Amino acid sequence: MSSLKFLLALLWAALVIITWRALHELGSDGGMVFVSDFLHPWRAQFNTDFSVHLLLLAIWVYWREQSKAVGIACALLCLLGGLFTLPYLWLAVHRARGAFRRLLLGAHDQR
């Protein structure tokens, strides 16, 4: 699991750098670029596919959390993408201490 934690940290760092560049070059217009991309068929397909994955991840995060208040907050933050989900997964992997079942089930792991 330490390799997974390293990969998550590396991916998060890359995403932070790319996000900083996008903010630096596009500023607050980045949201409009995402929305306007839905006019292009392949970009619309990619953005829809990505959004569906974010929604499924948010539902899983909500479900695995013991506190539903924390689950709702984390699920909403998951909709922002990897800037939140990668650190969330890193922490979940760390707390699981090598137990993949605990990582997947969270509060529902009864072992």
Per-domain boundaries in the chain: 2-108
| pTM to 2 decimal places | 0.85
Pick from 2-11, 25-34, 65-74, 95-104: least confident: 25-34
Q: What is the DSSP string of the chain?
A: -HHHHHHHHHHHHHHHHHHHHHHHHHGGGHHHHHHHGGGSHHHHHHHHHHHHHHHHHHHHHHHH-SSHHHHHHHHHHHTT-HHHHHHHHHHHHHHHTT-HHHHHHGGG---
The per-residue pLDDT for range 61-106, each reduced to its tens digit, is: 999 999 999 999 999 999 999 999 999 999 999 999 989 999 999 9
The single-letter code of the amino acid at 35 is: V
